[in-house]
Structure 1
Amino acid sequence: MLGDYQQTRLSEYARIYDILIPRDHIFRRMNEEIDFSFVRKELETKYSVGMGRSAEDPVRMFKYLMLKAMHPASDEDLVKRAYTDMSYKFFLGLNPEDDVIDPSLLSKFRRQRLQDVDLLSLLISKSVAMAIEKGIIKRKSDIIVDATHELAGSIAYRPVDYMRKMYGQIFKACEPFFNEAFRHEDFPKFPEDVEFDVFKSFCYSLISLLKGNGMAQIPAIGNKVNLLKEGLEDMECRRAISRDKDAKYGSKGPGRGFFGYKAHIGMTPESIVVAATVTSGEVGDGEYLVPLVEQAKQNGIEVDSAIADAAYASKENLDTLKGDIKVVAPLNTQVTQGRRSDKETGFHYNKDADMYVCPAGELAMRKERHPMQTKKVNADGKVIRNFHNAKVVYFFDVEKCKTCPLREGCFKGTKYKTYHVTILSDTHKEQIEFQKTPEFKQKMKKRKRIEPLNAHLKNDLGMKQNISYGIESMTMQTAVAIYMSNIQKIMKFKG
């Protein structure tokens, strides 16, 4: 249950803090200038009112997570340092002689107390309100939008590699139990150099064989068989098998794929993050421009312009924000939309590779530009060629399409798998004129300011890789990292 955390026990050693920790130390300033009581208010429903022993102060537990973001380390190493580092103890509200928590409490706090709490929105709104109150950012401001990739916490296996791996583990588990009824020679051999469907059929037949002869009743074998069966079921809707079920493949350019998540971030020119969300890695950047703008508005920012790269200059974004917010994003003729939109087809443009990515996350191999065709008529006035806008056609690897779990309704068994976009709509013509103005060029110079922030969040504040599994864990890490970044900026500007 929640106890009374307002009482402070006096210590004869408290004067050590006055000697060791300067007045301008960031931990001292944070304790003096930031009211962390909102954490206790938000989490009070997660604790019993009058039953059980007094729980560790939620504010203190949250501060442990902040320290973990500032100095990325395991829970055990973090607690060990908190025991000997006086600046840590001062920030945590402990006396110099006080003991620290057991490391397992941090894991319990993350999984139980922070479950179902929209921590990302909460921490961003609190830090943005603080920045506005202290005059660090203005209510009416531009926001700079970008997405950065975050790695999953486990290895991803391609379907065939996973089947081969599990086959080896099952064979090894069966070795001690071979007998006259089921000999070593009776164990089927794994097929080589055949099509994907043959591999799947082989694995299902292996499962049936081991269940039929009773070998799957042995726990050491049955566990492996069940894992293989679960992986085969995942292959119906996923390109990779991993313990991190929410992570997916994304692309950062030719030959630069990653397996994990994406953090979509909107910040002010002062590098204060005012909006953010976390998605799986295959999601396109552009479709999150409008949600980030709406989130920034909810956090008290009157958005004047949204500054972004070419991935955000889609027709949908320009039409949605037209007349309200200026979209300062350079047009690329290969991003323009014709009759079909990215949302309808599941394809999205990857600015780093200058290619389109299919719904399964595969990058196009090449592209061709088809020029505009005008309508032609013969001597009798009959139309022999209709008018067609110029378009760019993207070609995908047919061999991958044949084994893709999303091929139903997408790949029709043709010689080529293509996707095309029509060039230059009326909306984009207006955007082209806007790009020529001095205002656009001046504001576009601000876009590069978000790159150092992305690097700081990932390399210094622990947002680079998931420490656990699942999108909830990654979102929690992102929330604490962004809050810590905002607080550091606020302290720096105020200082």
Structure 2
Amino acid sequence: MMGERTVMQEALFYGFSLERHVPNEHMLRKIDRFVDLSGLRAELEPYYSNVGRPSIDPELMIRMLLVGYCYGIRSERRLCDEVHLNLAYRWFCRLGLDGDVPDHSTFSKNRHGRFRDSDLLRRLFETVVARCMSEGLVGGEAFAVDGSIIVADAHRQRGVVNSSALEPDSNRAVTEYLSVLDDAAFGGATPVEPKFVSPTDPAARWTAARGGPAVYAYADNYLIDLKHAVIMDVEATTAVRQAEVTAAKTMIERTADRLEVTPSRLAADTGYGSAEMLAWLVDERGIEPHIPVFDKSERTDGTFSRADFAYYKESDVYVCPAGKQLQKYRRAFATPRTGVDKDNTVRYRASKLDCDACELKAKCCPNTPARKIPRSIHEAARDVARAIAKTDAYIISRRERKKVEMLFAHLKRILRLDRLRLRGPWGARDEFLLAATAQNLRKMAKLIPAQAPIIAA
């Protein structure tokens, strides 16, 4: 018998439970166990007035933002619509069936005011990291660091050649750019001027580091624990390597200060293998650098490289393949000299008489009167990194370092943060913090099973 559609009729009463409607296996139900916003009101209390009408509940806004970043909902307009319609989102945001969803403009107002003034998103991220530690997901021994390019919300074909052409009060992003000109993570990262500057987001760097057409972009930097790839810290910088190395130091120091966790070894790619960075890890922090040494001393023209010369620490000399010494100075000075150049290197020179009479001159210094060997003042730390690179632990670290790259792939493909929506350095920082918080929450929801409900006998 052919069925007939039942016409929906409005009922006077509904026996509907939102709690029972959300299944136990839903991701938001798993995540909800680890969202602790108990201290939220105390953090924001100094930023609210004691008079006037009540504001939108800040806990509601934070929960809505977590929903958006966990599910890759990039638009706050769309987020408000989705929360209004989706029952699971309503349950997570504690709205019930008839709760009002705030207007999308409320997020911008609070983001540019209370949230940034109180550094609320940073505290939220660190609260989630602390929960990961209490759940046993953080080993605290092996860390990895890396950065990834995130395209800024700026048109790549619209730019000015010089930042002096920017109008100081034209928009919020320009004001933020002018405030970070001396910041080591942005304007002070490198003295090299970019080829173009975006008038809508001048802090975004003009770069072709992704291998395709040049774009305006920021760098998202992660410091992760290698046990379960928990993100321990996140930092937004301009898209240059010097800023990313500085961000690595900042994240390691901040993790030690705020979370009291210092790794015993750090894995990273060659971009972090400069002499200064290795010396900072070995001498100042006591961390084993499982990092390839950034070294350009290898020659490709058939002549001897620096590795063919033996260094003797006791006498502070190099010995060439012919057995002759290379020294810093060959006479005593009335005023002692350090011999350190501006690039923090010491140059060891052979005697011209020795080189002229040497049978190996054609393979050593055919175009110069005598051979010179530059040695960094941090060469001892570089030697430590070279020795570690010969161990089995180094091979394991190189393999585990891929976990941080997988997090960036998840960030761009699943959470859809391949392009920023907010502008300015603080906008990039807010987006990176919320995305990293969402990734850690999803990690806990995946790795920590929910307890089975206890059924009374």
Q: If the length of structure 1 is used for normalisation, what is the TM-score?
A: 0.64
The yes-or-no answer on 1:288 pairing with 2:289 is no
- Counterpart in the other structure of 1:249: 206
Quick one: percent identity of the two aligned structures? Answer: 22
Letter of the 1:24 counterpart: E
Change in CA separation of 1:380 and 1:81 when aligned onto 2, cut-off 3 Å? closer
Structure-2 separation of matches of 1:150 and 1:386? 48
CA contact under 8 A between 2:34 and 2:441: conserved in structure 1? no
Of 253-262 and 293-302, more deviation after overlay is shown by 253-262
Structure-2 separation of matches of 1:335 and 1:46? 56
Of 454-463 and 102-111, more deviation after overlay is shown by 454-463
The yes-or-no answer on 1:146 pairing with 2:146 is yes
- Counterpart in the other structure of 2:262: 302
Change in CA separation of 1:35 and 1:335 when aligned onto 2, cut-off 3 Å? farther
Structure-2 separation of matches of 1:488 and 1:335? 45
Aligned-pair distance for 1:260? 1.4
- Counterpart in the other structure of 1:389: 373
Structure-2 separation of matches of 1:439 and 1:116? 43
Gaps of 5+ in 1: 1-11, 164-195, 204-222, 228-233, 345-371, 391-420
Structure-1 separation of matches of 2:73 and 2:100? 21
Any idea what SS the aligned residue of 1:303 has? Answer: coil
Change in CA separation of 1:428 and 1:14 when aligned onto 2, cut-off 3 Å? farther
The yes-or-no answer on 1:155 pairing with 2:155 is yes
Report matched runs for 1:4-15 at 5 Å: 15=16
Change in CA separation of 1:444 and 1:57 when aligned onto 2, cut-off 3 Å? same
Larger relative helix fraction = 1
Aligned-pair distance for 1:15? 4.0
- Counterpart in the other structure of 1:271: 229
Gaps of 5+ in 2: 1-12, 175-186, 299-339, 358-367, 450-457
CA contact under 8 A between 1:147 and 1:264: conserved in structure 2? yes
Any idea what SS the aligned residue of 1:274 has? Answer: strand
Letter of the 1:94 counterpart: L
From 376, 381, 396, the counterpart of 2:352: 376
- Counterpart in the other structure of 1:37: 38
Aligned-pair distance for 1:238? 5.2
Q: Deviations over 1:68-127 (max 9, x none)?
A: 212323221111111110011101101112221112112212222212333453233211
Letter of the 1:60 counterpart: L
Any idea what SS the aligned residue of 1:385 has? Answer: coil
Aligned-pair distance for 1:40? 2.4
Structure-2 separation of matches of 1:333 and 1:286? 16
- Counterpart in the other structure of 1:436: 390
Q: Deviations over 1:367-420 (max 9, x none)?
A: xxxxx9854227999xx8344127xxxxxxxxxxxxxxxxxxxxxxxxxxxxxx
Aligned-pair distance for 1:253? 6.0
- Counterpart in the other structure of 2:293: 331
CA contact under 8 A between 1:376 and 1:385: conserved in structure 2? yes
Letter of the 2:442 counterpart: Q
Change in CA separation of 1:449 and 1:376 when aligned onto 2, cut-off 3 Å? same
Change in CA separation of 1:80 and 1:19 when aligned onto 2, cut-off 3 Å? same
The yes-or-no answer on 1:425 pairing with 2:379 is yes
Any idea what SS the aligned residue of 2:116 has? Answer: coil
Letter of the 1:450 counterpart: V
Of 436-445 and 251-260, more deviation after overlay is shown by 251-260
Structure-1 separation of matches of 2:157 and 2:293? 37
User: How many residues were matched structurally?
Assistant: 353
CA contact under 8 A between 1:156 and 1:241: conserved in structure 2? no
Structure-1 separation of matches of 2:266 and 2:147? 14
Change in CA separation of 1:380 and 1:386 when aligned onto 2, cut-off 3 Å? closer
Any idea what SS the aligned residue of 2:215 has? Answer: strand
Change in CA separation of 1:442 and 1:283 when aligned onto 2, cut-off 3 Å? closer
Of 437-446 and 422-431, more deviation after overlay is shown by 422-431
Structure-1 separation of matches of 2:398 and 2:141? 14
Structure-1 separation of matches of 2:355 and 2:423? 69
CA contact under 8 A between 1:374 and 1:385: conserved in structure 2? no
Any idea what SS the aligned residue of 1:114 has? Answer: helix
Structure-2 separation of matches of 1:126 and 1:141? 20
Aligned-pair distance for 1:268? 0.8
Any idea what SS the aligned residue of 2:421 has? Answer: coil
Change in CA separation of 1:58 and 1:255 when aligned onto 2, cut-off 3 Å? closer
Considering only aligned residues, what root-mean-square deviation do their CA atoms show, in Å? 3.5
Structure-2 separation of matches of 1:300 and 1:335? 38
Any idea what SS the aligned residue of 1:143 has? Answer: strand
Structure-2 separation of matches of 1:477 and 1:95? 28
CA contact under 8 A between 2:68 and 2:74: conserved in structure 1? yes
The yes-or-no answer on 1:259 pairing with 2:193 is no
Aligned-pair distance for 1:18? 3.3
- Counterpart in the other structure of 1:67: 67
Aligned-pair distance for 1:468? 2.4
Any idea what SS the aligned residue of 2:150 has? Answer: strand
Structure-1 separation of matches of 2:342 and 2:206? 24
Aligned-pair distance for 1:430? 3.0
Structure-2 separation of matches of 1:247 and 1:335? 34
Any idea what SS the aligned residue of 2:100 has? Answer: coil
Structure-2 separation of matches of 1:66 and 1:52? 28
Change in CA separation of 1:374 and 1:256 when aligned onto 2, cut-off 3 Å? farther
CA contact under 8 A between 1:251 and 1:282: conserved in structure 2? no
Aligned-pair distance for 1:41? 2.4
Letter of the 1:152 counterpart: A
Q: Deviations over 1:38-71 (max 9, x none)?
A: 33222222211x2111111101111111122123
CA contact under 8 A between 1:119 and 1:479: conserved in structure 2? no
From 440, 447, 450, the counterpart of 1:486: 440
Report matched runs for 1:177-326 at 5 Å: 239-242=195-198, 243-252=200-209, 257-269=214-226, 270-284=228-242, 285-298=244-257, 299-322=259-282, 324-326=286-288
Letter of the 2:101 counterpart: V
- Counterpart in the other structure of 1:178: none
Letter of the 1:288 counterpart: A
Letter of the 2:290 counterpart: V
Structure-1 separation of matches of 2:108 and 2:356? 80
Change in CA separation of 1:102 and 1:254 when aligned onto 2, cut-off 3 Å? closer
Aligned-pair distance for 1:301? 1.9
CA contact under 8 A between 1:262 and 1:278: conserved in structure 2? yes
The yes-or-no answer on 1:470 pairing with 2:428 is no
- Counterpart in the other structure of 1:122: 123
CA contact under 8 A between 2:205 and 2:239: conserved in structure 1? yes
